[in-house]
Amino acid sequence: MDAGRPYHRRTEGAVRADSGTEASCGLGGNAVPRPLTPLGRFYVYALHGCLCEVLFTAAWDLYERGDRKLAGHTSLWALPIYGAALLLIERLHLWLQPRCPLLARLLVYTLFTYLWEFGTGLLLRLLGACPWDYSAFRYNLRGLVTLEYALPWATGCFIAEQHVIKNALRVRLWNSGQAP
C-alpha cells in the first residue's frame, strides 16, 4: 500500500479511510446523492411509454388478428409525447396524492391522457405526421382518441403512478467519484 494515500475500504455501504473517519473518495464527508433531473425522468418516462405501447400493440394484434409474431409497433413521436405527458402526470401526482383518493386521481390522469392524446394528435395531424387513427372505432373523436381505450389508459396511469413515477422520484445518483 502506498504510504502517501489513505487506504479505503467499504463497510456497511459507506467508504471509510483507515483512520475510521468517513470519506467520500476525495469529495468531502458531506457528499449527498442527487435525484434524477427532470431530463433524466423525461428519458425514463419516454422509454417506459414506448415500451408499453409496443407491448400493447403486440397484444392487440394477437387478440384482433391472431398475429403470434408479437411484433408490436410505435412511432418516434411517442418518445416526446410520453416523456412530456408523464412529467406532467408526475406534477399532478405530487399535487393530488395528499388530497385525493386513488380512484379520483386515476380519473384525472385518464382525462388528462385523453386531452394530451387529442392535442398532440391534432398537432401531428396538422403536420401530416400523426401515427395513429382511431376512425375505425365506434366511440372515436375525429380519429384522434377513442373511448374503447379508457380502461387500458387508466391501467397505464395506475402503473405509471404506483411504480414508474414513484420509483423515478426515488432514484438517487452519485457524482463521479462518490460512493454510496
Provide the CB-side half-sphere exposure for 45 (13 A, CA).
Answer: 26
In tens, the pLDDT along 133-157 reads 999 999 999 999 999 999 999 999 9
Residues 8 and 17: their CA atoms lie apart, in Å, by: 5
- Give me the residue spans of the domains in the chain: 1-31, 34-172
Q: How far is CA 72 from CA 83, 116, 158, in A?
A: 19, 22, 22
Strands 14-17 and 8-11: antiparallel
pTM of the model: 0.79
Each residue's pLDDT tens digit, 76-87: 999 999 999 999
